Amino acid sequence: MARKKASANPAPSRVVLFTGFPGFIGARLIPRLLELEPDTLFHCLVQEKFLDLARSSVAQLAEAHPGTAGRIELVVGDITAPGLGIGETEARVLHRKLTGCYHLAAVYDLAVPREVGMRINVEGTRNVLAFLEECPHLHRFDYVSTAYVSGTAVGLFRETDLDVGQSFKNYYEETKFLAEEAVRGSALPTATYRPAIVVGDSRTGETAKFDGPYFALNAMRQLPSPGVFVKVGTGTNPVNLVPVDFVLEAIARLSTWEGSIGKTYHLTDPRPLSAFEIEELFAKALGKQFVYVPVPAVVAKLLFSPKPIQDWFGMPAVTVEYFDHPARYDSSQAAADLARFDVSCPPFTDYVQNLVAFYRRHVEKITRGAMI
């Protein structure tokens, strides 16, 4: 009797809900996860208005990463809706099958209005938690937060810290803090990841948008050289930058390891440079020279408050506060657990040239905003 041919795609042993696809990080994380655990099936929650984009992304991934073929299914829904906006029949099937969830969907925007941040970051996370609580076979929940739940806290902020009596510099920080509080208050088996300020790939410089520290590059590009550039405050406080490839590999490795459940990880640079050191490296990579004039953070924020100034530099005024804030992030748990996988954050000096080279090639092309 002829032997039955084995299926190229055996039945998955892990069935995972994924939010935040086809975002820049989400679309790159899934292929890596499937390399580590090929027997996974991802159900990616996608708003209907992004369905065509998501389908295109699935097709592109299958071509570039054959291991993803047949392993990504799209589910029309919305984290801001009760029950995630998933149809009743499909929801029942997912409740019965799901063994895990990656929750990445959020508004990553320092200038987000409070109502939008509350609806997406907070209510969206609560809706995800409520949906997962109906899943009897759920083995783990992997949640992407931010190191900036630290808000206005100064000094060392530990991975075990959350509410230390801080206030917040903006509604992004506040709503991500409230979302993480909701996650901590749930009974789900959770691993939480808190990246610092994410920049482009350390090898290629690739990124989906030029925000955060790229605003300094925008300003430098506009100004004459030799010239004058603002140094916010003393310029000596650290600005914690991490390349996206480090964040992706860290999440991929930790989320496929049993030992990470119940832990919170700061995906941060253990040796961050000061704001002034970063500015100097940016200027050198751009081939520019500046005299740096120290300006108090309060004054700098006022200088950047007029909308025409923000538009010209491409830099929201709220960004200024991150150039002069005396907070440091303990990452000892992340370092210890990532060491078993030989994963660590590369120093900024090793990849700044790649970031700037990509920026110079694509600064006029990349205008992508938040998927909301």
Q: Which residues pair with 238 in a beta bridge?
A: 274
* 324 vs 18 pLDDT, higher one: 18
Q: Is the pLDDT of residue 1 over 60?
A: no
Looking at the domain assignment, is residue 276 inside a domain? Answer: no
Q: What is the tens place of the pLDDT at every residue in 237-270?
A: 999 999 999 999 999 999 999 999 999 999 999 9
pLDDT-derived band at 5, boundaries 50, 70, 90: very low
pLDDT value at residue 10: 60
| Single pTM value for the model | 0.93
Q: Is the pLDDT of residue 314 over 80?
A: no
- Kindly give, in sequence order, each residue whose CB lies less than 8 Å from that of residue 134, ignoring residues fewer than 6 positions away: 95
Q: Is the pLDDT of residue 369 over 70?
A: no
The 10 Å Cβ neighbour count of residue 226 is 9
Extended beta strands in the chain, E state: 14-19, 40-46, 72-76, 100-103, 140-144, 155-157, 190-195, 197-199, 227-232, 241-243, 264-267, 290-295, 327-329
3-state secondary structure of 41: strand
pLDDT-derived band at 365, boundaries 50, 70, 90: confident
Q: What is the tens place of the pLDDT at every residue in 92-104?
A: 999 999 999 999 9
Q: What is the DSSP string of 166-199?
A: ---SSHHHHHHHHHHHHHHHS-S-EEEEEE-EEE
Among 198-202, 215-219, 256-260, 341-345, the minimum mean pLDDT is found in 215-219
Looking at the domain assignment, is residue 166 inside a domain? Answer: yes
Q: Is the pLDDT of residue 8 over 80?
A: no
Mean pLDDT of all residues in 158-184:
98
- Kindly give, in sequence order, each residue whose CB lies less than 8 Å from that of residue 340, ignoring residues fewer than 6 positions away: 257
Residue 4's Cβ-side half-sphere holds a number of Cα atoms within 13 Å equal to 3
pLDDT value at residue 315: 74
* 209 vs 272 pLDDT, higher one: 272
- Number of structural domains (the chain) is 1
pLDDT-derived band at 11, boundaries 50, 70, 90: low
Mean pLDDT of all residues in 159-166:
98
Q: Is the pLDDT of residue 372 over 70?
A: no
pLDDT value at residue 154: 96
Q: Strand 155-157 to strand 197-199: parallel, antiparallel, or no bridges (unpaired)? A: unpaired
Looking at the domain assignment, is residue 245 inside a domain? Answer: no
pLDDT value at residue 235: 86
The 10 Å Cβ neighbour count of residue 259 is 10
- Kindly give, in sequence order, each residue whose CB lies less than 8 Å from that of residue 1, ignoring residues fewer than 6 positions away: none
pLDDT value at residue 234: 85
Looking at the domain assignment, is residue 171 inside a domain? Answer: yes
3-state secondary structure of 50: helix
Mean pLDDT of all residues in 278-301:
92
Answer for the pair 44, 74: CB distance below 8 angstroms, yes or no. Answer: yes
Q: Is the pLDDT of residue 306 over 50?
A: yes
Looking at the domain assignment, is residue 240 inside a domain? Answer: no
Looking at the domain assignment, is residue 219 inside a domain? Answer: no
Q: Is the pLDDT of residue 118 over 50?
A: yes
Q: Which domain holds residue 100?
A: 14-188
The angle formed by the CA atoms of residues 163, 194 and 60, to the nearest 5 degrees, is: 145
Mean pLDDT of all residues in 84-111:
96
Looking at the domain assignment, is residue 64 inside a domain? Answer: yes
Query: How far is 130 from 121, CA to CA, in rounded Å?
Result: 14
Looking at the domain assignment, is residue 141 inside a domain? Answer: yes
Task: Give the single-character DSSP code of 20.
Answer: S
- Kindly give, in sequence order, each residue whose CB lies less than 8 Å from that of residue 278, ignoring residues fewer than 6 positions away: 213, 216, 239, 241, 348, 352
Residue 266 identity (one-letter amino acid): H
State the CATH number of the domain containing residue 174. 3.40.50.720
Task: Give the single-character DSSP code of 37.
Answer: -
Q: Is the pLDDT of residue 17 over 50?
A: yes
Task: Give the single-character DSSP code of 223.
Answer: S
- Kindly give, in sequence order, each residue whose CB lies less than 8 Å from that of residue 364, ignoring residues fewer than 6 positions away: none
pLDDT value at residue 370: 47
Torsion sign (Cα): 91, 93, 99, 100: negative
